[in-house]
Amino acid sequence: MAKISIMGAGSWGLGLAILLNNNKHDVKVWSVFPEEIQILQTERENKKSLPGVRLPEELTFTADTKDAVESADVIIMAVASPYTRSTSKLIAPYVKENQYIVNVGKGIEEDSLMTLCQIIKQEIPQATVAILSGPSHAEEVGRGIPTSCVIGAERKADAEYLQNIFMSDVFRVYISPDMLGICIGGSLKNVIALAAGVADGLGYGDNTKAALITRGIAEIARLGVAMGADPMTFSGLSGMGDLIVTCASMHSRNRRAGILIGKGYTKDQAMEEVQMVVEGVYSAKAAYQLAQKYQVEMPIVEQVYKVLFHDENPATAVQELMLRNKKMETNHNISWKE
- Buried (b) or exposed (e) across 26-50, using 16+ Cβ within 10 A? bbbbbbbeeebbebbeeeeebeebb
28 among known catalytic residues: no
Interior angle at CA 52, CA 187 and CA 29, nearest 5:
60
Q: Do 280 and 191 form a contact (C-beta atoms < 8 A)?
A: yes
CA distance 141 to 148: 10
Handedness of CA 309, 314, 319, 324 (dihedral sign): positive
C-alpha count within 13 angstroms, C-beta hemisphere, residue 67? 11
From the candidates 28, 106, 121, 189, which is the catalytic residue? 189
The greatest distance separating any two alpha carbons of the chain, rounded to the nearest whole angstrom, comes to 74
Asked if 224 and 234 count as a contact pair (C-beta separation under 8 A), the reply is: yes
Nearest partner of 33 among 65, 60, 72, judged by Cα: 65
> In this structure, what DSSP letter does residue 46 have?
B
Evaluate whether 78 touches 42 at the Cβ level (below 8 Å): no
Give the contacts of 119 (CB within 8 A, at least 6 positions apart). Answer: 84, 85, 88, 109, 112
For the annotated catalytic residues, the residue numbers are 189
